[in-house]
Chain A
């Protein structure tokens, strides 16, 4: 899933300054799971903004709130049209994809990002999320024991570990496991240490130029896809 962090209240207040009526819009999928912008966070943010307004004594803003199932899907944004009414801007607590989907769907209305979209990952423990996939477009997990060096090695190298690893930790962060040590231990367990002796050639970054697009083969080649 996509993981994000809510922006600071100060930054959000700065962003909404020019707009009087603001709709705080949550997202019911990834942002709900990572506690950055679900229905609950929308409600908390709404209260925090109202409180800050009244304390500052010169509040001009009025707020409303709403949460859609997914902001990154036009289908779920249709219900939004009735909620807009006379709002001046939408403060989206969706990820960067959600913000842009709204901008595309509502071309005349400003949309502001209420979160910083961070990465694709998973919850390691309650309240802690770790990055797992860099969406590099050229997956080599079969070679590395199911542990991604592109994402989890700070240098993203293919012929690791580098000389900076110490006590199994990364040179750049002593609290972070060295991805290549994890890979080594996992391959050792699987009886596949020969994969550590192999030379891995240069990466193909041609898969990266942005923006990227994936066309589902299932929908193009009828009967040939696996869907």
Chain B
């Protein structure tokens, strides 16, 4: 075991894992995170806490993770490279470990122009792949980026993202390989809607044996309205929503029911794809639906390890 987190235990055991996402509030309320913890605790193995997603200022990921942890949820702390340099990031990692956080997901971060502080200066002192490598060296060699020794243990289960739908398609597996080589223990992919294209990507992944070197969780974003489907198709960076999904949402009598149905169907198809070790459900602002989706997809109860 690298960190001994619940997520690591489930993945190492070979069981099909379920993770969810909890966005921290645009404010100071601990109760918001506590409520999300209550909702997600029994239906997923770990919960990601986003790091100022889409560059909108929210409660810090570190604080959000601590609040989830206090409620018995295994948190996945997301770190983006947009807002902090290598000094601040390493400092936060030490603090997170001291507070009992073991899973960290390394991301580049959406450009600040998407958020509510578009005039801010971005940092990008390091990129996501360099962050993965830095965390691996912190854990395995107990060294900071500069080479100085870290005192104490550094138990970390290191995650990274992958987007099979970004350009160039043939390079996306190479990029995943770079992340795995850098030290990614688990991968959470961008939302899947086009299952055929995803399966083709996974075929390339398994051909290279990457699914044996890391645990791949397929991303699922439940859509709750036709407007959200159109918005995600047209404006959300990195997400690819096919027109047929948008049409299906537009023609639905009950959009929420349809959206949950789409998510359940997707999970059922994803379960069958060789090399997939779990699903990552990102119900942005619609966490209430997660228990139902997990239940309908036949993934309850979650293992207790």
Contacts and interface: CB of A to CB of B under 8 A. Distances in A.
Interface stretch (A57-65, A122-130, A157-165): A157-165
Interface stretch (A30-38, A100-108, A194-202): A194-202
B115 to A, nearest CB: 11
Interface string B165-184: 01110010011011001100
Contacts of B124: 155-157
B111 A154 contact: yes
B177 to A, nearest CB: 7
Interface in A185-227: 196-197, 199-203, 205
A162 B190 CA distance: 12
B167 A196 contact: no
A202 B130 contact: yes
Interface in A160-196: 160-168, 171-173, 178, 181, 184, 196
A184 B167 CA distance: 10
Contacts of A157: 108, 124, 127-128
A171 to B, nearest CB: 4
Nearest to A172: B111
A188 B79 CA distance: 32
Given A164-B238, A172-B111, A159 B167 contact: no
Contacts of A168: 167
B125 A205 contact: yes
B236 to A, nearest CB: 10
Given A155-B127, A158-B127, A197-B178, A181 B108 contact: no
For chain B, which range describes its interface: under 10, 10 to 19, 20 to 34, or 35 or more residues?
35 or more
B174 A196 contact: yes
B238 A202 contact: no
Nearest to B111: A172
Nearest to A163: B163
Nearest to A167: B167
A196 B171 contact: yes
B253 to A, nearest CB: 32
B127 A163 contact: no
A155 B126 CA distance: 10
A32 to B, nearest CB: 32
Contacts of A159: 127-130, 178
A159 B126 CA distance: 10
Interface in B91-138: 108, 110-111, 113-114, 122, 124-130, 133-134
Given A166-B240, A203-B126, 11 more contacts: A154-B111, A155-B108, A155-B111, A155-B127, A159-B128, A161-B175, A163-B162, A164-B166, A164-B238, A173-B113, A201-B130
The 9 closest A-B CB pairs, nearest first, are A163-B163, A157-B127, A172-B111, A159-B129, A171-B237, A164-B237, A163-B238, A162-B108, A155-B124
Interface of B: 81-82, 86, 108, 110-111, 113-114, 122, 124-130, 133-134, 145, 161-163, 166-168, 171, 174-175, 177-178, 181-182, 190, 237-238, 240
Interface of A: 154-168, 171-173, 178, 181, 184, 196-197, 199-203, 205
14 contacts: A155-B82, A157-B108, A161-B166, A161-B175, A162-B128, A162-B166, A163-B108, A165-B166, A166-B240, A178-B167, A197-B174, A199-B178, A202-B145, A203-B126
